[in-house]
Amino acid sequence: MAEPLVYLDGEFKPKSQAAINVFDHGFLYGDGLFEGIRAYNGRVFLCREHLDRFYDGANCLAIKLPLAKKEMREVLYESLKRNGLRDAYIRLIATRGVGDLGLSPLKCAGRGSIICIAASITLYPDEFYRTGMKIITSAVQRSHPECLNPRVKSLNYLSNILAKIEAINNGYEEAIMLNHRGEVAECTGDNLFIVKNGIVKTPPPSAVILEGCTRNCVIRVARKSRIEVREETLARFDVYTADELFLTGTAAELIPVVEADGRSIGSGKPGPVTLDLLAKFRRFIKAYRDPGV
Ligand code: PXG
């Protein structure tokens, strides 16, 4: 089988030759950002939303992207095409670029690298959707927004990785992360929702979350079918006493959770609102047409 082709600074290179300079500050310092995007049936799902977040993040980190949004969108589609993929997971990365060993970005070439990897997607086991996941709360907090704001999908994911390690070491797949105020923020790679008395609730961006493209899409899909959604501060109490709990993310789509910190959530099975929203979200995906940027 031919090697996958990776986009690197204007060229498509075989995976084994797509290498990055060890002096790139993306490698030396995590100085860069990324997006995890899905393609369904040859369409880049929520393309505009992902690119908006990518460019906002780059702006926040003062990284000047060498391509306009429209050109970046072409890179995503070309990556699919060159790899013969219609359903895929796409990883888009921008780095600060090659510099010296000092922190200063001023020593970097001025233009960072753009990398795009399109791979076939590893789906979550179907069992997760039927029986629901079990999660714990991690002792690792989201970083304070005045340090590194987690609203930027930066190449520094160490807090999330430490929380993920904690979950795995305890026999769980995912962990809830609290913010610096002790409020529920999100999970390591997914946003969190509860359902209480028929109302869907999720922490607001001010709770120090990555504003997930899936999260925002699920909110729109729910509201369109007249399900009330509130962006509200949540405590662990709200999670434990919820009727239903679910997570959203590009890879997971919308996944039910049936246990948190040893407390059974609602009936202990994926709830009706969750399953209804999952079905509606999947219908939305099927009907999705990429409007461009
Ligand atoms: N919160 C965080 C912290 C994330 O990293 C989401 C929420 C969901 O956002 P989207 O836009 O995907 O709905 C993410 C997603 C993984 C993985 O392997 C997940 C993410 C990044 C890299 C890997 O689960 N981000």
Q: Is 253 in the pocket of ligand 1 (CB under 6 A)?
A: no
Q: Is 155 in the pocket of ligand 1 (CB under 6 A)?
A: no
| Positions of E strands within 174-224 | 174-178, 184-187, 191-196, 199-202
Domain at 54, CATH number: 3.30.470.10
Dist. CA 56–CA 54, nearest whole Å: 6
Indicate whether 109 pLDDT > 90. no
- The last residue of one of the domains, among 86, 119, 152, is 119
Q: What is the structure's pLDDT at 110? A: 72
Mark whether 175 and 197 lie in a shared domain: yes
Dist. CA 99–CA 110, nearest whole Å: 9
Q: Is 174 in the pocket of ligand 1 (CB under 6 A)?
A: no
pLDDT 10s digits, 256-277: 999 999 999 999 999 999 999 9
Mark whether 137 and 236 lie in a shared domain: yes
Mark whether 17 and 106 lie in a shared domain: yes
User: Could you tell me if residue 270 is inside a domain?
Assistant: yes
Mark whether 164 and 250 lie in a shared domain: yes
154 CA to middle of ligand 1, Å? 11
Residue range of the domain that includes 42:
5-119
User: Could you tell me if residue 186 is inside a domain?
Assistant: yes
pTM of the model: 0.96
User: Could you tell me if residue 293 is inside a domain?
Assistant: no
User: Could you tell me if residue 292 is inside a domain?
Assistant: no
pLDDT band at 123 (very low <50, low <70, confident <90, very high): confident
Q: What is the structure's pLDDT at 54? A: 98
Mark whether 140 and 279 lie in a shared domain: yes
What is the average pLDDT value for the chain, to the nearest integer?
96
Q: What is the structure's pLDDT at 101? A: 95
User: Could you tell me if residue 243 is inside a domain?
Assistant: yes
Backbone region of residue 76 per phi and psi (left: phi > 0; alpha: psi in -120 to 50; beta: other values): alpha
Mark whether 101 and 168 lie in a shared domain: no
Mean pLDDT (whole number) for 172-195? 98
- The last residue of one of the domains, among 91, 119, 147, is 119
Mark whether 182 and 251 lie in a shared domain: yes
| DSSP H or E stretch at residue 165 | helix 158-169
Mark whether 163 and 201 lie in a shared domain: yes
Q: What is the structure's pLDDT at 9? A: 96
Dist. CA 35–CA 123, nearest whole Å: 18
Mean pLDDT (whole number) for 151-158? 96
Query: Which of 46, 250, 255 is the best mutation target for the ligand 1 pocket, counting ligand atoms within 8 Å of the beta carbon and taking the most?
Result: 250
Number of domains composing the chain: 2
Amino acid found at 28: L
Q: What is the structure's pLDDT at 184? A: 98
User: Could you tell me if residue 176 is inside a domain?
Assistant: yes
Indicate whether 111 pLDDT > 90. no
Q: What is the structure's pLDDT at 112? A: 87
pLDDT band at 212 (very low <50, low <70, confident <90, very high): very high
CB 136, CB 239: distance < 8 Å: no
CB 249, CB 123: distance < 8 Å: no
pLDDT band at 106 (very low <50, low <70, confident <90, very high): confident
Mark whether 102 and 243 lie in a shared domain: no
Mark whether 202 and 179 lie in a shared domain: yes
If you take atom 2 of ligand 1, which residue's CA is the nearest one?
189
pLDDT 10s digits, 6-46: 999 999 999 999 999 999 999 999 999 999 999 999 999 99
Domain at 188, CATH number: 3.20.10.10
Q: Can you read off the two tokens belonging to residue 106?
A: 């001023």
Q: Which atom of ligand 1 is nearest to the CA of 213?
A: 11
Mean pLDDT (whole number) for 227-249? 98
Half-sphere exposure of 223 (CA within 13 A, CB side): 10
Mark whether 137 and 245 lie in a shared domain: yes
Mean pLDDT (whole number) for 250-260? 97
CB 188, CB 168: distance < 8 Å: no
CA distances from 72 to 6, 20, 85, 127, 175 (A): 14, 19, 18, 36, 33
Mean pLDDT (whole number) for 176-196? 98
Mark whether 150 and 278 lie in a shared domain: yes
Q: Annotated catalytic residue: which of 134, 153, 164, 196?
A: 153
Catalytic residue flag (residue 196): no
Q: What is the structure's pLDDT at 107? A: 87
- The last residue of one of the domains, among 119, 143, 172, is 119
3-state percent breakdown (helix, strand, coil) of the chain, nearest 5: 30, 25, 40
